[in-house]
Structure 1
Amino acid sequence: MNKVILTGGSSGIGKAINIFLLEKGYEVLFTYCHSKESAQEIENQFPNAKAYQIDFTSESEMAGFSAEIEAFSPDILINNYYNGTFIDTYFHKTESEKILNDFKNNIIPTLQITQECIKIFRKKKEGRIINILTSSMQSPAMGTSVYNSNKAYLLQMSKSWALENVKFGITCNSISPSFIPTDFHKDMDERMKETILSGYPLKENLESKDISNVIDLCLNGGKHFNGNHIFLDASHY
């Protein structure tokens, strides 16, 4: 198994995962929306990388990507994409339209992509699904209700994917990293970042290599390593 679909692979955690896989020799078809320069740099550096620009809110672009998935015939799917904000506002101040739009823009595309990949995996009698979630689900910060609820939805879905597909040689595992500063958190108050770090047992930020090590486990842990939800948080909570 060496062909990977990686959503959101040109920045942040996704970029780190992407480079890890490419350096290991995997062939990676990764998506991006706005980070064109970064995506091109990755393609230029690695001949086994293929960038695919897509707006997941566009039905026509999603249809095109589904055809691309079928042509690529992946062995591995890593769901990392998320387009939204980590910290927004208090739940009671959150407009219902915001809740609905974030779900439609993030969760529905992830479900559709996973469905397409599972169909291919079942024909091959093998496959790997890895979902990048968040340890914030376990101890949420104020203002993160929409983000955390979307990630929690994917966690529950991943349990079904693991159960329904294991007899076809397909495993599904989820990884919930602790806070790691990326472009996703660029609008976050620096004092809040310092507060999070000060309360963390190791007093140091998680690094991309820590996530990559667990990615490797999910890929190569065998058919019995299935249905796991791994917290990368130094037993913080």
Structure 2
Amino acid sequence: MKKVVLTGGSAGIGKAINLFLLRKGYEVLFTFNNSSQSANEIIAEFPNAKAFQIDFSNPEQIHNFLNEIQGFKPNILINNFYSGTFIDTYFHKTESDKFLADFQTNVIPTLQITQECIKIFRKEKFGRIINILSSSLKSPAMGTSVYNANKAYLLQMNKSWASENVKFGITSNSISPAFTLTDFHKNMDERQVENILAMYPLKNNLEGKDVAEFVELCLNGGSHFNGNHVFLDASNS
């Protein structure tokens, strides 16, 4: 049975990926913070699911999760977690503390978790890393500078992870889904949401299950499918 570490697996796109993999028979260790009810429902339904509650701004909890990963011994890592907002304010109005706080909460834990998993993958001579980013990297909305900067940092890291580890049977790829309406966007203005969805080339907009299905393609893509960044957006320009 393939063993997956999935960050942010109880809501939104992460939940869709989680349920998809669990139904396929994968064993999934997933994180959650505020979505306790959803997490409990998942572990109640699937014996191959294991939940870990964590606040990624808490170093002690991160340390405990890294220890959990060591015992779990995964061969797949899906970096999906993001805490904060998609649209905040204009770059010139953003407080400097905001840049640092969001980086420490979202990027640093992702790096630590990826380091821990790579150590395990290298010993086993196999591993798959998938990073869930955003199509906002292609066409940034106003007020998303902090969010996009953090996603772009992870995109560049993906290239390093791919080149440094492929000889150990490890691949690293990134997926940037088109706008997918989830609780993450609940504070967005309705007109912004309508404008984004109106520009999408397909009548049926992207859903979490569409991302989950592409994740499986990455998992089964073989050792030559490595270092890629795919925009899952119906070729939307």
TM over 0.5: yes
Name the structure 2 match of 1:53: 53
Q: TM-score, normalised by structure 2?
A: 0.99
Query: How many positions carry a matched residue from both structures?
Result: 237
- Is 2:4–2:77's contact at 8 Å kept on the other side of the alignment? yes
Identity %: 72
Q: What is aligned with 1:8? A: 8
Aligned ranges 1:137-176 → 2 under 5 Å? 137-176=137-176
Amino acid at match of 1:119: K
Displacement, 1:203? 3.4
Q: TM-score, normalised on structure 1?
A: 0.99
User: Alpha-carbon deviation of 1:212?
Assistant: 1.5
| Equivalent residue number for residue 189 of structure 1 | 189
Cα RMSD (Å)? 0.7
Q: How does 1:68-217 map to 2 (within 5 A)?
A: 68-217=68-217
Unpaired segments ≥5 residues, structure 2: none
Runs of 4+ in 1 over 3 A off after TM superposition: none
Structure 1 alignment gaps of length 5 or more: none
Deviation at 1:234, TM superposition (A): 1.0
Amino acid at match of 1:134: S
- What residue in structure 1 maps to residue 20 of structure 2? 20
SS at match of 1:110: helix
Per-residue CA deviations over 1:87-145 (Å, capped at 9, x if unaligned) read: 00000000000011000000000000000000000000000000000000110000000
Deviations 1:176-203 (A, max 9, x none): 0000000000111111111001111113
In 1, distance between residues paired with 2:25 and 2:204? 30
What CA distance in whole angstroms lies between the structure 2 residues aligned with 1:78 and 1:116?
A: 13
| 1:201–1:234 Cα contact (<8 Å) kept | yes
Secondary structure of the structure 2 residue equivalent to 1:203: coil
Q: SS where residue 226 of structure 1 aligns?
A: coil
